[in-house]
Structure 1
């Protein structure tokens, strides 16, 4: 099943490519930095980087913003709230919250591929309050419950 997502480039960013898959079977669409001047991200710093577009998705979708593995491996650049969620009713500019976990400053230039956007279906869920919950084999076991390694 295919879903149509409408993309509107923002004024001043007509030169940027639309989000695009970099291979035929890629799950994510690469996003480009829509900065007017290079942004230096020092170790430990974070910055909200604009992507230069708005979009409209059908209500059954969400967009997840995820790191690019090459930036993470080579430079320690990742998305701080990963995956970041864009809801179907959001119409503002798409932006990416990047953080430098590396040991060297990193320069973000215009048209730099900074993250990827993956679309997911969102199930319709109804929450119901209950006085008691059914038992399970796991019970309340949480962090580290299944063993240590």
Structure 2
């Protein structure tokens, strides 16, 4: 097996859809939501209160920034899917082109990178999540089975003379960062 998708054990009996390509020449595999999920609008939370205080030239307290930053954090929408691939490959996660325009949903990091050693990690079995922020004026309700984004398998190259990294993946989402 070179590369592909599997359902994580948590969703084994939940009728999860494996990613698919929509057309024969599509590069990306569409990923679907594993469950219903609500993405709150940033405009009804503490973020808007911070903007109001700035506009009214009010004194800003450290807790104003903290509350606003908490509201602006992306939420992780589960797919119930893990991906296996060759050691010199990664899965590039990208937003659907219609999501910002039609739904106001963005991937705040632009793209996601799923390394080959993320598969079957101890922390979350390698489940793939899409980080999303809702810029729309209302909460956005994602239904189980809705398309979230797409994944594209990509090879990568290593630099000449690179010292081989000694670290091993020790966890799930975001665990390879130092």
- TM-score normalised per structure 2: 0.63
Q: Which has the higher strand share?
A: 1
Q: 1:95 matched to which residue of 2?
A: 129
Q: Please state how far the C-alpha of 1:26 moved relative to its aligned partner.
A: 1.0
CA RMSD for the aligned pairs? 2.1
Runs of 4 or more, structure 1, over 3 Å off, are none
2:104 to 50, 71, 76: 76
Q: Which has the higher helix share?
A: 2
SS in 2 for 1:21: coil
Q: 2:37 matched to which residue of 1?
A: 38
User: What is the rounded CA distance, in whole Å, between the counterparts of 1:126 and 1:41 in structure 2?
Assistant: 46
SS in 2 for 1:25: coil
Tell me if 1:55 matches 2:55.
no
Q: Please state how far the C-alpha of 1:59 moved relative to its aligned partner.
A: 1.3
- TM-score normalised per structure 1: 0.74
SS in 2 for 1:107: strand
Q: Please state how far the C-alpha of 1:25 moved relative to its aligned partner.
A: 0.9
Q: 1:121 matched to which residue of 2?
A: 155
Number of residue pairs the alignment of both structures matches: 126
Q: 2:144 matched to which residue of 1?
A: 110
Q: Deviations over 1:65-92 (max 9, x none)?
A: 1101111111111112121111111121
Q: 1:10 matched to which residue of 2?
A: 8
Contact 1:41 1:108 in 2 (8 A): no
Q: Structure 2: any 5+ residue segments left out of the alignment?
A: 44-71, 120-125, 163-178
User: What is the rounded CA distance, in whole Å, between the counterparts of 1:73 and 1:127 in structure 2?
Assistant: 44
